[in-house]
Amino acid sequence: MAVQPVVYGSSDRPPRGNYAIAADDYTCDQDWGAISVEQHALFERLFQRQIRQMPGHACDEFIHALARLGMETRIPRFEEISRKLRRATGWEIVAVPGLIPERPFFSLLANRRFPVTVWLREPHEFDYIVEPDVFHDLFGHVPLLFNPVFADYMQAFGAGGLKAEGLNALEYLARLYWYTVEFGLLTTRDGLRVYGAGILSSGGETVHALTSDTPQRLGFDLERVMRTPYRIDDYQDTYFVIRSFAQLFDATAPDFTQLYTRVAALDTLPLNARLRGELTYSPNPLDPDATTGDQS
């Protein structure tokens, strides 16, 4: 069925992916048998580049779950992952042609079904890709769905999204998703760690987000996040830091209606605004032998 998929970022470029194969809920078949040897090899190269950067940068919960997924050398069958995931947190992954509109996206999350894009980037896109591909979704997003508290947060986010529909608040939720699920940082007794999928699947941003003194790192605050726009075509100017996944889940438990009204009455802030009295975090000291992932 020809559907008008969501366009990510720019209005003049149709999203990638074959939406003609999508069902009404935008899910499709993974067609694992159609994946070429070259595509499995490209996925393996992406995986090997990122896994080298994880120790000392990704949060422990991510690293422990990744080891259980068995996708070091090829693109896994989604059903294989779902079988493990159902046992852990009741989630499963479903194949989608690519980015899908907000409502079906929220609806899938609310039902503990994470949409994983079926297409893989081309070799020349090894270092940078605008839209999420199967590597971004599988490597970046799926491991933390094995963490019960984060898995509950993702379902609550989906349910919240469905409620926000009529409240003209999708932009605020997109910012919340962006600054947590995609680009979130976590403070630990060993320093800052990454939990955001957009960082963990990026060749250069994993080390940058933790050690560069260019961006600012602010303590997570729901209203502040919802007032802060983001850029999709470069490293972030601002990262938000949580103390725990429980803090994230608790912060988003209450009904957002009043919060949306408050945020709508306030100005949208510039990308790197600094408000008085904000909690800020220093970058991690540079790890002398940190692989930046650029030696790919």
| Catalytic residue annotation | 136, 141, 182, 201
Is the distance from CB of 7 to CB of 13 less than 8 angstroms? yes
* Contact set with ligand HBI (CB under 6 A): 6, 96, 99-100, 102, 105, 115, 117, 132, 174, 177
Shortest reach from residue 176's CB to ligand HBI, in Å: 8
Q: Mask of contacts with Fe ion, 191-230, x by CB under 5 A? A: ------x---------------------------------
128 in Cβ contact with 147 (< 8 Å): no
The pair of three-digit structure tokens given for residue 207, joined into one six-digit string? 């080390």
In sequence order, which residues have a C-beta less than 8 Å from that of residue 240 and are 6 or more positions away? 179, 180, 183, 184, 185, 217, 218, 219, 220, 221, 224, 225
Closest to ligand HBI by CB, 162 vs 290, is: 162
Phi-psi category of 277—alpha, beta or left, where left has phi over 0 and alpha has psi -120 to 50?
A: left
Interface residue with Fe ion among 17, 104, 115, 132 (CB under 5 A) is 132
Cβ-contact 126, 202 below 8 angstroms: no
The reply on whether position 158 binds Fe ion by CB under 5 A is: no
293 binding Fe ion? (CB under 5 A): no
Residue 143 binds Fe ion (CB under 5 A): no
* Residue (233 or 289) nearer to ligand HBI, CB: 233
Alpha-carbon span 167 to 228, nearest angstrom = 19
The answer to whether residue 184 forms part of the interface with Fe ion (CB under 5 A) is: no
Applying CB under 5 A, the residues found at the interface with Fe ion are 132, 197
